[in-house]
Chains A and B, each alone.
Chain A
């Protein structure tokens, strides 16, 4: 089975339990989700789930149809990597031991698009938004400088071609 990375955009009514209803569709087939992000949309009462996973292409289409069947689900899109603009947010804590290291970290910050959001002597927190690969690359650069903490959000994604869900959520609450 050839697997690929897919991103699902799922629009739902904003009510308790919807996350569980959606994840059941993956767990019953023993699939592991890479990331989930949930937020309210431009429309009040409508939530947007962005789910990323590596899976077989025929299977993801079947699962998408089963997710669409959930009563609270209004619309489902399945995207391949080239169809979306996708980013994640990361916080990285580094603890330089001397000024030389500190200078090197600041240089890395300048080369990338990272931002310093806390700057104390031995406690620098960086914020970075980018693709998973860009975040990984930044971490690789920073590892020599006592990278002590790293957290990143799930992916958020938006289709390049424009809005796809307008009609589906028009009928919602």
Chain B
């Protein structure tokens, strides 16, 4: 690489630079300060240019490209800005696929940049050539292949705009090697985008009035909140809405932490392993106000038996979500914050004490049958729920909690008492095992001043365990709580309940996680008894750097409540 290919040191408005430098200049001007990536043949010119940007951009060398995508998701979810990944062509690019699909289903802004073979080799089955545009078309919000260096600045601007605007999502930009090497004119003045115009839909007055009339006349209303509340920063509007109308609030898995867990109007989590009251009473509600959530099948259970008496008001920025899974009486296509701001002045001050009492009664029943046994067990092996409770107490409900997928995920979602907004992330839509360790890594980089704790199972951690090496190299103070029950617990639970206890390939003979973690340079602590837990948790949290706390928990514990597949939410089981 010759010096002439670098951007001119002088502040000229326009300069001739190589495509690779144009990529990095464009990233910087779009606010990118961190890249999670892995180099390889087809992206080497960009990595060479990156060497000159070490002071402006932090590059985190992950151990597998999937780790880069989840780390970018973690970073994006705490910062609200697109996470950025680099990967080479072929296997580097295909290793991004799981994380891209994860970001697509969970509406996480991400910009992935992949190297590609030179344009003249496209379609020839060249070394490490994969049609990554074709592969990722169904799982990206947008993707594009750049074959000409001149396209780079405008396309990267457009990539960030698309990833972050509206309903966020992943964008993949594939850049052929010749386009990375060739020179192009780079204009340092920000240019308006020519090819993509997006205007934010505004809530319609008529829709707001119709919604307000339904809410004002409701006897047994419920509010359901989701990820959209966090994305649009509508936490305060939700609180005002709830307190003004006296309407109880329930959250989806991704809406957790948008509303304080200890708020008197908070009734808990919806869904398959959500709380008893919000599931059971959904089918008695007369009006449902759903904001920034999408009626996923894990939330609705059997959709034909879902909320039969409710008039549903659905607020979502994505018009395609309105009426997709459940019929709605009023659809408000708007950002949740703006919709609630428009709605609140139209609402009468109200209270629903009898209706709230129903939720409280459900809570007491759940507490007696499930919750106390989960989080305050007196004897037997340690339970997953009590580990989460102790973590919640010791972090004062203020940590960023990142969960993997499985039983521990549901325990973390159910028992961590969130006091701060934007404190929870998990792989919800795709249910990606292996998400938590790299996502926690990205979250810690995006929120360096907050404690970040990953909660993982012994199955999931082994899918991305190599990222412990990245955590050690970057000296990230991520704390990892490993709930080890030697089972793929959620699958085992289903086999126990629905497949006559035929435990088909769910038992794990695990490696020595203590040795592995220490081998990666991450200190590890082992807890096998209840009396060790508190002190061990303190030690972990007091560490300046990373730490893995492995807790051996009861092997065959089940997660309840549970809405069995195909059942109605009102058929939620407590045991």
Binding site for B on A (CB under 8 A): 13, 17, 20-21, 24, 28, 61-62, 65-66, 68-69, 71, 171, 173
Chain B, residues 292-320, CB within 8 Å of chain A (1/0): the string is 00000000000000000000000000111
Instruction: Name the residue on A nearest B167 (C-beta).
Output: A69
Q: Which residues of A contact B162 (CB under 8 A)?
A: 71
Knowing A62-B323, A62-B324, A68-B319 touch, does A17 contact B196 (C-beta < 8 A)?
Answer: no
A171 and B197 in contact (CB under 8 A), knowing A24-B137, A65-B319, A65-B320?
yes
- Select B142's contact among A65, A71, A171, A173, beta carbons within 8 Å: A71
Interface assignment of B511: CB less than 8 Å from any CB of chain A: no
Contact of A21 with B137 at beta-carbon distance under 8 Å, contacts A62-B324, A171-B197, A173-B195 already known: yes
Question: Can you report 22 residue pairs joining A to B where beta carbons are below 8 Å apart?
Answer: A13-B195, A17-B133, A17-B137, A20-B137, A24-B137, A24-B138, A61-B323, A62-B320, A62-B323, A62-B324, A65-B319, A65-B320, A66-B320, A68-B319, A69-B318, A69-B319, A69-B320, A71-B141, A71-B142, A71-B162, A171-B197, A173-B195
Output the nearest chain B residue to A21 by Cβ-Cβ distance.
B137
Which residues of chain B have C-beta atoms less than 8 A from A28's C-beta?
138
Q: Which residues of A contact B137 (CB under 8 A)?
A: 17, 20-21, 24
Q: When chains A and B are docked, how far (Å) is the Cα of A28 from the Cα of B104?
A: 15
Measured between alpha carbons, how far is A28 from B137 in the docked complex, in Å?
12
Docked pose: A66 CA to B138 CA in angstroms: 12
Asked whether, in the complex, the Cβ of B196 is within 8 Å of the Cβ of A71, the reply is yes
B194 in the interface, Cβ–Cβ < 8 Å? yes
Query: Which 10 pairs across A and B sit closest by C-beta, in order of nearness?
Result: A65-B320, A71-B142, A66-B320, A24-B138, A171-B197, A69-B320, A65-B319, A173-B195, A62-B324, A20-B137
Give the shortest distance, in Å, between A96 (CB) and chain B (any CB).
46
- B134 within 8 A of partner (CB): yes
**Further pairs besides A13-B195, A65-B319: 10, Cβ < 8 Å:** A17-B133, A24-B138, A62-B324, A65-B324, A68-B319, A68-B320, A69-B318, A69-B319, A171-B197, A173-B195
CA distance in complex: A71, B167 (Å)? 12
Closest residue of chain A to B166, judged by CB?
A69
Interface footprint category on B: 10 to 19
A68 to B418, CA, bound (A): 37
Chain A residues with Cβ below 8 Å from B320 are 62, 65-66, 68-69
Q: For residue B303, give the distance in angstroms from its CB to the closest CB of chain A.
A: 13
Nearest Cβ on chain B to A46's Cβ, whole angstroms: 12
B197 — which chain A residues lie within 8 A by C-beta?
171
In whole angstroms, what is the CA distance A66 to B323 when docked?
12
Q: What are the residues of chain A within 8 A of B142 when measuring CB–CB?
A: 71
Q: How far is the CA of A28 from the CA of B138 in the complex (A)?
A: 9
Please determine whether A20 and B134 come into contact, CB atoms closer than 8 angstroms. yes
Output the nearest chain B residue to A62 by Cβ-Cβ distance. B324
Chain B residue at smallest Cβ distance from A45? B195
Bound Cα distance from A28 to B101, whole angstroms:
14
A168 to chain B, nearest CB (A): 11
Closest Cβ of chain A: how far from B82's Cβ, in Å?
15
Chain A min CB distance to B332 (Å)? 15
Chain B contacts for A62, CB-based, 8 A: 320, 323-324
Chain B residue nearest to A64 in the complex (CB): B320
With a cutoff of 8 Å between Cβ atoms, the chain B residues found around residue A13 in the complex are 195
> In the complex, A61 Cα to B331 Cα: how many Å?
15
> A173 to B194, alpha carbons, bound, how many Å?
6
**Minimum CB–CB distance for B512 against chain A, Å:** 43
A residues in contact with B138, CB < 8 Å: 24, 28
**How close is A26's CB to chain B, nearest CB, in angstroms?**
12
The residue in chain B whose Cβ has the minimal distance to the Cβ of A28 is B138
B133 / chain A contacts, CB cutoff of 8 Å: 17
0/1 per residue, B141-156, Cβ < 8 Å to A? Answer: 1100000000000000
Q: CB within 8 Å of A: which of B311-355?
A: 318-320, 323-324
Separation in Å of the B156 CB from the closest CB of chain A?
A: 15
| Cα–Cα, bound, A71→B193 (Å) | 14
CA distance A162 to B327 in the complex (A): 31
Query: From residue B114, how far is it (CB to closest CB) to chain A in Å?
Result: 16
Chain B residues with CB below 8 A from A65, complex form: 319-320, 324
Chain B 21-60, CB within 8 Å of chain A: the 1/0 string? Answer: 0000000000000000000000000000000000000000
> B324: nearest residue on chain A (CB-CB)?
A62
Kindly state the separation between the CA atoms of A125 and B137 in the bound complex, as whole angstroms: 42
Q: How far is the CB of A20 from chain B (nearest CB, A)?
A: 6
- Identify the closest chain B residue to A16 (Cβ): B145
CA distance A66 to B320 in the complex (A): 6
Distance in angstroms between the alpha carbons of A165 and B528 in the assembled complex:
67
CA gap between A66 and B137 in the complex, in Å: 14
Q: How far is the CB of A171 from chain B (nearest CB, A)?
A: 5
Interface residues of B in 123-170 (CB under 8 A from A): 133-134, 137-138, 141-142, 162
A58's closest neighbor in chain B, by CB?
B323
Bound-state Cα–Cα, A171 to B197, Å: 7
Give the docked Cα–Cα distance between A62 and B294 (Å). Answer: 14
Render B190-207 as a binary contact track against A, CB cut-off 8 A, 1 for contact: 000011110000000000
Contacts of A17 in B (CB 8 A): 133, 137
Q: How far is the CB of A69 from chain B (nearest CB, A)?
A: 5
Report Cα–Cα, A168/B320, bound state, in Å.
Answer: 18
* Minimum Cβ distance to chain B for residue A169 (Å): 11
Residues of B within 8 A of A68 (CB): 319-320
Tell me which residues across on chain A come within 8 A of B323, comparing CB atoms: 61-62
Chain A residues within 8 Å of B318, by CB: 69
Bound CA span A79–B240, Å: 43
List the A residue with the shortest CB-CB distance to B142. Answer: A71
Q: What's the Cα separation between A66 and B197 when bound, in Å?
A: 18
- B159 → chain A closest CB, angstroms: 10
CA distance A65 to B320 in the complex (A): 5
Mark out the residues of chain B between 54 and 99 whose CB falls within 8 Å of any chain A CB in the assembled complex: none
- Minimum CB–CB distance from A152 to chain B (whole Å) comes to 29
CB neighbours (8 Å) of A173 from chain B are 194-195
Closest chain B residue to A173, Cβ basis: B195
Distance of A71 Cα from B141 Cα, bound (Å): 8
- B134 CB contacts on chain A under 8 angstroms: 20
* Cβ of B101 to closest chain A Cβ, rounded Å: 13
Residues from chain B with Cβ under 8 Å of A69 in the complex: 318-320
Least CB separation from B143: chain A residue: A17
What CA separation (Å) do A171 and B192 show in the bound complex? 14
Bound Cα distance A13, B158 (Å)? 15
Give the nearest-CB partner of B322 in chain A. A65
A18 to chain B, nearest CB (A): 10
CB proximity of A130 to chain B, nearest CB, Å: 36
CA A100 to CA B318, docked complex, whole Å: 65
Of chain B, the residue at the smallest CB distance from A67 is B320
CA distance A24 to B323 in the complex (A): 21
